[in-house]
Structure 1
């Protein structure tokens, strides 16, 4: 959890200075705004939280092998988010979205604190590219995913 908490601090340091007036600006018709990137991160973390809760309510099955997920933080390999994790094409209030982002992290933290590392390692969630991944890797994936999108936010801010 320390890793994802440190990445969250970096994310907040990157987005908090963005003025409300720039929060929803799309620098290109096909790009996301800073707000949409943050909403995507919230949707992803909420998905991980729901999926972890569901997995933790079941009996452990065959352990999933750890996957080489470090590459997720690099943007050289384009990736398209699944439809359910794509933000709507709308404006988002900055403070309300930051509060919702905090709530998803609080829930992830609650799940991690409530369960042992053995329980997290013994259960898995399937990833569209990697297949079944142990829950503790999904926690790391949250941080890698945010790192990837911090770079995207920096690119957006440079164009504003």
Structure 2
């Protein structure tokens, strides 16, 4: 069980590193450029990732503060990485059109990740498995599934970032 948990955290770290590597050579103006009408810029994708992680942290903190255990069945959250199925982000998780620098977005995402890791530090895998919170697509997920979802979700959006990057004139 502990090995599985370590793999989740390693995957989340690996995907985040891939994102930073992918955007490292992009200027702030390119980062904020919308290449197709109705689509997000890379900056907006990064802000969306921040909003998801922030929401997850808030929910995890609330669930951990509750004495109530509410285990749920396992969901196939690995499918979140599958970009062949379009999913509309709920309004609260949609990014703004505000111009942001890579430094600003990196700070936001680094802080949300640090907060997530501090939030679960010392919490047993069993506790993360027996407590749950709602997910807008999958329904109720255990806290451990939520943490795993973050990595799969970022993997999905890494592909989106790569697609946008290809359309940019670098």
TM-score bracket for the superposition, by shorter chain length: over 0.9
Please give the alpha-carbon distance, in whole angstroms, between the structure 1 residues aligned to 2:137 and 2:154: 18
Structure 1 ranges of 4+ moved more than 4 A: none
TM-score, normalising length: structure 2: 0.90
Contact 1:14 1:154 in 2 (8 A): yes
Gaps of 5+ in 1: none
In 1, distance between residues paired with 2:120 and 2:22?
Answer: 26
Task: Find the counterpart in structure 1 of residue 154 from structure 2.
Answer: 146
Whether the 8 Å contact between 1:60 and 1:122 is mirrored in structure 2 is no
Residue of structure 2 in register with 1:67 after alignment? 75
The alpha carbon displacement at 1:88 in A equals: 0.7
2:123 is matched with: 115
Separation in structure 1 between the aligned mates of residue 22 and residue 138 of structure 2, nearest angstrom: 29
- The 2-side partners of 1:84 and 1:50 are apart by 14
- Alpha-carbon deviation of 1:154? 0.5
Unaligned runs of 5+ in 2: 1-8
The residue aligned with 1:46 is 54
How many positions carry a matched residue from both structures? 160
Deviation sequence 1:37-57 (CA, Å, 0-9, x none)? 000000000000000000000
* In 1, Cα distance between equivalents of 2:82 and 2:129: 25
- Paired position in structure 2 for 1:93: 101
Q: Which moved more, 1:40-49 or 1:20-29?
A: 20-29
Q: How many Å separate the matches in 1 of 2:140 and 2:124?
A: 19
